[in-house]
Structure 1
């Protein structure tokens, strides 16, 4: 009897004691990866979003309950669980996607990140996406500044002419009071014949030179603008808002543009990717029924037709660009080239994307060598230099890198 009681006691303790959430760096890092891939679209750690704030969930709920809810929330709700039913109603019956592919160990890693990770989110990192985008926006003097400089120079020139006119007037009055010969007085008081000035060879040469210079500058500016589509903002077949999705909802760019870290192209998302969310989200907040724009996605899926998105960023065929090399290896933020994409209702081409623009970036951008043994030898060879190792130092200015 005592033996049976001991087994029962051990069983009770086993169910009563939840496994401890690890605060190890390895567990937090693994959990962060899982959170970004599966949870970030709908959840924040410290505030309500599409779903509830998650930090502290291991104190509010049993670990076993959390594991079941993460794997299949609808199953827990349909079982009549009071906490799950209340949570479902609180967030407008929004269905949380099931994650049956996550193991119990994965959920524990996820909890490690939820409880101990993400502390840096409260303080924005220095030199973030906005700083990168601002730094990449222009490599020269902005045209507005050039206009101001030219205007100031014109004003200064006019002031100089006025001052010279006053000096001439004062000198003329002074000399007229002096005892001078008649010829000298006639020379001093002579009037400028503007007709002769306008017909003079010197004036014609100066005007011709100015006109030729202006025409040449206009022609050169026109040639430099060939193929440059900075500011291009076409109307898309579906009014997709990056401000809503990437900004307000903080959906990572990589979720929709799946090829950005593994290939040359970032990939335009297919309707199936849209349906991952929009099979649950069918309308605009505060409105009933399916949104007309979302309905277009349904129509494309039902008719097995691709959505004919209009390409915004185009590079000439003679230029090679690889997204994965820049994003995955180089660690370049999307905003560095595409600007504040999370603020755009309609996407536009933010940067010039010219060869000069790329080369200027290669001259200024530091190589992120930390934790990458591939660069160890290069870092060692470059150690004597005062400057940090930049893209230009590893062949970033070689013609064949982009033109093959």
Structure 2
């Protein structure tokens, strides 16, 4: 927020943080992580703006509240400290925040409570070296099903081989034992000496029927797998035109998903971030990076960055992000997997109709404090002893997703 590392002015420092209760600090923590962590640390590290350690000791609460709410207005008013901060950090304009006074005080209290805690540096992260659009995969994401089937087939073959070898050994041992006995008749001795005619076994009708049935079953199984797999791209992880690491941004730097995907909580679709969102940070940091230079070139040429879509539902299915994330409270990881650990984003879930229906059949609805559900819950409790789940509210009806 552009307030650290500046010589204190005449204003008294803010007396915040020390006496704040845990609830206020938690509220400030949420505000900071959702709005500030993209550009600031609560330590001494400079990200885009300065580190905010002990900022409450260097600035008065009133000054901090004005700066956070509208830094541009404070600069234009001629405040010497605001102008100094603005000039020191390359005249990078900080966004304005429509926070209430209570929210601002909670934010300052959180920064004060965190100031004494040790800070850790984020580890650097590199990008893949493949062509845009190429599926580079992730750590066994999506390939798990195929690998499991392959493993089962290998185990089955090994078991069959062991069984056949065991039978051969047993037959050989038994044959040698019988040969050593002296009380065998001529017919029995001839039977032991007889060699197995595999040609006759293969030509037998029973064996041919069994082999034919096995072939048909395998062919049908492969055909069903191929047909049922049409449109399923679990594990698809294309190489993007810019090597963006979710592990670095969402994991190491803990940037909230909503900062880049701004419509994920308020729209049916989760938008792809525009270049100006990237430039909020990268106009100041890693400007010389070859990957960041691609953003500069896109802006200079007035051409969009051609990101490769990873998750894509068929047109016949309707899905609303805000209904799930805002109303339903579904976490991003529920569908997208551990996105904060992915160097390259992959489709984690199958996104099939059966997968969605299973979720609707097992996910309870949070109806607390929502009068819309009162009568529905009462009717449900009369007819069923189970929890009020998404399916109880029509979540498995065809028209919910297909209309």
* Corresponding residue of 2:175: 172
| C-alpha deviation, 1:284, in angstroms | 1.6
Distance 1:32 1:356 in 2: 38
| C-alpha deviation, 1:149, in angstroms | 3.9
Give the secondary structure class of the aligned counterpart of 1:359: helix
Deviations 1:45-83 (A, max 9, x none): 4674614554653244322332344332883998554x9
Which residue, out of 231, 246, 249, partners 2:250?
246
Deviations 1:254-274 (A, max 9, x none): 122222111211122334444
Instruction: Report if aligned partners of 1:35, 1:110 keep a CA contact under 8 Å in 2.
Output: yes
Structure 1 unaligned residues grouped into runs of 5+: 1-14, 123-136
CA change 1:154–1:216 in 2 (3 A) is same
* Corresponding residue of 2:398: 399
Instruction: Report if aligned partners of 1:77, 1:84 keep a CA contact under 8 Å in 2.
Output: no
Distance 1:104 1:17 in 2: 17
| C-alpha deviation, 1:106, in angstroms | 4.8
CA change 1:370–1:57 in 2 (3 A) is farther
* Corresponding residue of 2:286: 284
CA change 1:201–1:258 in 2 (3 A) is same
After alignment, is 369-378 or 244-253 more displaced? 369-378
| C-alpha deviation, 1:328, in angstroms | 0.6
Which residue, out of 39, 50, 69, partners 2:36?
39
* Corresponding residue of 1:58: 56
2:150 matches 1:151: no
Distance 2:95 2:353 in 1: 46
After alignment, is 46-55 or 355-364 more displaced? 46-55
2:303 matches 1:323: no
Distance 1:100 1:373 in 2: 32
2:193 matches 1:189: yes
Give the secondary structure class of the aligned counterpart of 1:215: helix
Deviations 1:144-172 (A, max 9, x none): 34444443343333333333333333433
| Structure holding more helix per residue | 1
| C-alpha deviation, 1:321, in angstroms | 0.7
* Count of residue pairs the alignment pairs up: 366
| C-alpha deviation, 1:371, in angstroms | 4.9
Deviations 1:13-35 (A, max 9, x none): xx869676673677557645643
Distance 1:262 1:336 in 2: 18
Give the secondary structure class of the aligned counterpart of 2:250: helix
| C-alpha deviation, 1:327, in angstroms | 0.6
Instruction: Report if aligned partners of 1:69, 1:76 keep a CA contact under 8 Å in 2.
Output: no
After alignment, is 193-202 or 36-45 more displaced? 36-45
2:110 matches 1:108: no
Distance 1:185 1:84 in 2: 109
* Corresponding residue of 1:293: 294
Note the 1:17-36 alignment, pairs <5 A. Answer: 23=20, 31=28, 34-36=31-33
Distance 2:113 2:149 in 1: 51
2:213 matches 1:205: no
Relative to the length of structure 1, the TM-score reads 0.72
Give the secondary structure class of the aligned counterpart of 1:75: helix
| C-alpha deviation, 1:292, in angstroms | 1.9
After alignment, is 183-192 or 41-50 more displaced? 41-50
| C-alpha deviation, 1:315, in angstroms | 0.8
* Corresponding residue of 2:331: 333
Distance 2:114 2:372 in 1: 29
Give the secondary structure class of the aligned counterpart of 2:174: helix
Structure 2 unaligned residues grouped into runs of 5+: 1-10, 120-140
Deviations 1:378-401 (A, max 9, x none): 666459977654333433322222
* Corresponding residue of 2:137: none
Give the secondary structure class of the aligned counterpart of 2:322: helix
Q: Root-mean-square deviation (CA), in Å?
A: 4.3
Instruction: Report if aligned partners of 1:274, 1:297 keep a CA contact under 8 Å in 2.
Output: no
After alignment, is 368-377 or 321-330 more displaced? 368-377
